[in-house]
Amino acid sequence: MSETVSFGYTEVSPDEKTARVGEVFRSVASRYDLMNDAMSGGLHRLWKDRFVRLVKPRAGETILDVAGGTGDIAFRLAKSGAKVIVSDINPAMLEVGKERAAKKRIDGLDWSVQNAETLSFDAKSFDAYTIAFGIRNVTHRAQALAEAHRVLKRGGRFFCLEFSTTLWPGFKEAYDVYSHKLVPKLGKLLAGDEESYRYLIESIRRFPTMDAFKAEIAAAGFVQTRVEPMLGGLVAIHSGWKI
C-alpha cells in the first residue's frame, strides 16, 4: 500500500500534503499575524516570549529558526545579538517577514527558503535550532527531526513550540468547541479563508501527545529531552540536546 500522511483529518499522499500545506500558508500569509492575535487573544506573544527565554540565545551564537514564517521567533532571538537564519518552505511567508523586519528596523537576519526535511546547511552548523508552530505541518516529521540533529553542533540545543493536547478537563471541552466552531469562522471573517483555518485546527488534533512527541525527539538522537506544558498542554515546549 502506498504511504499516506494526515492533512488535518484527511489522509493524503505525502506530495499532496506538502502541496496543500503550501497553499494554506500562501493563502494566509498576508493575514497570518492578525489572525494569530485574534485566535489566541494575543497569548501567542507570551508563548513565544517564554519559548525564546528558554532558548537563551547569546551574542556570538548562530541559530536556525525553521518554519520561521513571518519572523516572530527570529525577531525575539535576534535581540540577544545572536546571528539568526530564518528559514521556511514558503516564500510568501518569508516575504511578509522581511517587510515586517524592515518596518521594525531589525537588521542582520538571513532569510532562506528551506524544507525542514532536507535542509541545505552543512552538518554541525548551529548552536541552536528552533521551530515554532511548524513541525505539525511538516510531511515527514522524523526526517525533519533527523535534519535538526544533523545541523546542530555537539552541545547544540533543539527547541520546539507547538500546540498539543490540554490535560485540564473543563478547559479541554471549551477549547474543543472554540477551536472547531469559532476558529474557522474567524478565519472566514478576518482572512477570508475558512478552509485553511479548519486545516490548522485539525492538524493540531492529529499531532501526537506530549509524551509521544518527546519520544520522537529522543529517537532522533537528542538527549535530556524535556517538555514544558502551558495551559495544561494546550501549547508545549519540547527541548533536547545533541551531544
The contact set with ligand SAM (CB under 6 A) reads 21, 25, 66-69, 72-73, 88-90, 93, 115-117, 132-134, 137-138
Nearer to ligand SAM among residue 93 and residue 227 (C-beta): 93
Nearer CB in complex with ligand SAM: 180/223:
180
Nearest Cα residue to 90 out of 36, 27, 147, 31? 27
Residue 241 has φ and ψ, to the nearest 5°, of -120, 150
Query: Whole-number minimum distance, CB 16 to ligand SAM, in Å?
Result: 13
Question: Is the CA virtual torsion 152, 115, 225, 228 positive or negative?
Answer: positive
Q: How far is the CB of 241 from ligand SAM (least distance, A)?
A: 21
In this structure, the number of other CB atoms found within 10 A of the CB of residue 155 comes to 9
C-alpha cell at 186: 474567524
Residue closest to ligand SAM, measured at CB: 69
> Given the complex with ligand SAM, which of 160 and 227 has the nearer CB atom?
160
φ and ψ at 66, to 5 degrees?
Answer: -95, 150
Of 30 and 168, which has the nearer Cβ to ligand SAM?
Answer: 30
CB of 90 to ligand SAM, least distance (A): 3
| Measured distance CA(228)–CA(210) in Å, rounded | 9
Per the structure block, which three cell numbers stand in for 49? 516570549
185 is written with which cell numbers? 469562522
Q: Tell the smallest beta-carbon distance from residue 170 to ligand SAM (Å).
A: 27
- Give the distance from CA 222 to its chain's centroid: 18
d(CA 122, CA 109): 19
The least CB distance from residue 145 to ligand SAM, in Å, is: 12
For ligand SAM, the closer CB: 72 or 127: 72
